[in-house]
Amino acid sequence: MTDVTQPTAAAAPASKINLRAIALFVIVALLIAWTGFTQSWNVALAIVNMGLVSAIMALGVNMQWGFAGLFNVGIMGFVALGGLAVVLVTEAPVPEAWAAGGPRMILALAFGLALLVVAALVYQRMAKGRLRALAMTVLLVGGYFAYREIFVPAADAIEAVNPAGTGFLGGAGFKGGLALLAWPIGGLFAATAAWAIGKTALGLRSDYLAIATLGISEIIIAVLKNEDWLARGVKNVNGLERPWPVPYEVDLQASADFAARAASWGMDPVVASAVVVKLIYAALFTVVLLILLWMSQAALKSPWGRMMRAIRD
């Protein structure tokens, strides 16, 4: 009797090194180094930091487009929520604005949230028909006008407080290491928005999902641009607190020890301070990127990751 051993499917071929990707990374690294030597290391490091931030964003896009096959083009809405988190965590509160309309604004937001919860309960518990449609219409339309009666005066009062300098409520005022909390909180904001989008739009596919997510993203951006009481809208919030351990350039330039070190490097203290700050930011971004890369790989090997690939297939 002859025993013929057949190769099993479990003996998968070893993964090959992607030489093309490595070559592209090397070319980009050489171009950045060339920029530093021929133009300015400030410019080169600014490109590096932008690339690291873009890589973090690309991880999220790849999870949706690449692994799940979901054509989501609403990424910038999530980015805007991340920026909002930085303002709400690091910016100091504005006592005058809180005194003018803070409690009423909290009441308005609580009323709006309660209105949505009640509307969801009515929709779930009432039988489908004209009565439910009438109840939902009365509840939402009436609730909207009641909400505006609370919200609009509060927003106007807050925005009237020194509109050139503040005109918003401010944030928690976290400094130093606590300022780093803005990054995970920004992720939590984005995750909450993603959950809401998923509940409403994931029944769609292809171009329809793209249109829906783009529309929701534009709604988020429009709200942040126009609600000055929240984060000054398009007026911008200047002087945001830097996360630990990133120093300020002026503090480095005022240090005699740093000036001596910059001279030993053959650099002007002003240029050297900007380079050091960008290097520290690059180190922070790299740590975050590596953590997220590890987490995404672990997630893709989990049952959830297999489910994501099943959605695509």
Q: Which has the minimum average pLDDT: 156-160, 178-182, 206-210, 283-287?
A: 206-210
Amino acid at 161: V
Q: How far is residue 112's CA from residue 105's CA, in Å, rounded to a whole number?
A: 11
Residues 184 and 192 sit within 8 Å (Cβ to Cβ): no
What pTM value is reported for the model?
0.77
- pLDDT above 80 for 127: yes
What is the pLDDT confidence band of residue 10, given thresholds at 50, 70 and 90?
very low
Instruction: Give the helix/strand (H/E) hosting 255.
Output: none
- Domain ranges for the chain, please list them: 39-305
pLDDT for the residue numbered 39 = 86
Average pLDDT over residues 27-56: 91
Whether 249 and 273 have beta carbons less than 8 Å apart is answered as yes
* pLDDT value of residue 129: 86
Least confident of 104-108, 117-121, 239-243: 239-243
pLDDT of residue 16: 62
Distance, in Å, from the CA atom of 308 to the CA atom of 202, rounded to the nearest integer, reads 13
DSSP 241: P
CB of 170 within 8 A of CB of 97? yes
Calculate mean pLDDT across residues 143-148: 94
Which residues touch 286 (CB under 8 Å, ≥6 apart)?
A: 52
- Mean pLDDT to the nearest integer, 66-78: 81
- For 299-307, what is the mean pLDDT? 81
Q: Please check the confidence at residue 13 and state whether its pLDDT lies above 80.
A: no
Residue length, the chain?
A: 313
- Is the pLDDT score of 3 beyond 60? no
